[in-house]
Amino acid sequence: MDKIKKAIRTIPDFPIKGIMFRDVTTLYSNPEAMKHVINLTYNYWKDKGLTCIAGIEARGFISGSIIANNLSLPFIPIRKKGKLPYYTISQNYELEYGTATIEIHADAINKNDNVLIVDDLIATGGTALACIKLIDKLNAKVSGCTFIVDLPQLEGKKRIEEIGIEVQTLCSFEGH
Ligand code: AMP
């Protein structure tokens, strides 16, 4: 776990003052630390009956597709509005300033699927909760969520666990 945390670079005041940006590009470029990420995730989820992996744009695509391949499961992208070319289902969610919309292909997930949601980091949990609602609209089940980084002060992990969904995080940082 320490190896993973040490491989993540912190950029103070990015993109705005007061945010400590946890930059996973330095983790993604470190094959040893990434092997830990994938082993921990694989071992945690391998016997939980998952049928597909949904990665959140953009950093969730990178770890999500490696995890999907290791578990021999399909990878499904959840993207920002207007990026997916086929019929889509969408979900709006609140940002600190304004709202955002995420989308999934309407035929990407079936109603009997057990989905694992993947992203690099959970902060307030707003993005992940929007993904959960999106998958609910397709009548599939979210079996869990996995994030490399948790920011526990922002309580996103707690929010998701409170609605009965299992959450795995691999390391945590203080602050925002
Ligand atoms: P939230 O919806 O509040 O849980 O925010 C999670 C999303 O915002 C993820 O896609 C993260 O990549 C990004 N994010 C939020 N805070 C940070 C941070 N301090 N460092 C890096 N990424 C962040």
| Closest protein CA for atom 18 of ligand 1 | 21
Give the per-residue pLDDT at 139. Answer: 97
Q: Is 82 left (phi over 0), alpha (psi -120 to 50) or beta?
A: left
Average pLDDT over residues 151-175: 97
* Residue whose structure tokens are 């993005």: 127
Number of the ligand 1 atom closest to the C-alpha atom of 125: 4
Ligand 1 proximity of 134 Cβ (cutoff 6 Å): no
Q: Which long-range contacts (CB under 8 A, 24 or more apart) does 6-14 make?
A: 6/33, 7/33, 8/148, 8/149, 8/171, 10/173
- Using one digit for the tens of pLDDT, what is the confidence trace for 20-62? 999 999 999 999 999 999 999 999 999 999 999 999 999 999 9
Q: Is 119 in the pocket of ligand 1 (CB under 6 A)?
A: yes
Asked if pLDDT for residue 96 goes beyond 80, the answer is no
121-150: average pLDDT: 98
How far, in Å, from the CA of 173 to the mean position of ligand 1? 12
Q: Which two tokens stand for residue 124?
A: 């307030």
Cβ contacts of 56 within 8 Å, gap of 6 or more: 64, 78, 102, 117, 118, 119, 127, 128, 131
Closest atom of ligand 1 relative to the 22 alpha carbon: 20
Q: pLDDT at residue 1 above 90?
A: no
The whole-number pLDDT of residue 166 equals: 98
Hey, which residues are catalytic here? 59, 96
Q: Using DSSP, state whether 135 is helix, strand or coil.
A: helix
Q: 3-state SS of 85-133? A: CCCEEEEEEECCCCEEEEEEECCCCCCCCEEEEEEEEECCCHHHHHHHH
**Number of neighbouring beta carbons within 10 Å of residue 48:** 12
Per-residue model confidence (pLDDT) at position 95: 86
Query: Which of 14, 127, 158 most suits a substitution to test ligand 1, by most atoms within 8 Å of the C-beta?
Result: 127
Would you state the structure tokens that stand for residue 9, as one six-digit string?
């670079």
Cβ of residue 121 lying under 6 Å from some atom of ligand 1:
yes
| Residue 92 to residue 86: CA distance in whole angstroms | 19
Ligand 1 mean position, distance from CA 13 (Å): 14
Which residues are registered as beta bridge partners of 91?
102
Q: In a 10 Å sphere around its CB, with 0-12 CB exposed, 13-18 middle and 19+ buried, how is residue 29 labelled?
A: exposed
| Contact (Cβ atoms closer than 8 angstroms) between residue 148 and residue 175 | no
Question: pLDDT grade, residue 13 (50/70/90)?
Answer: very high
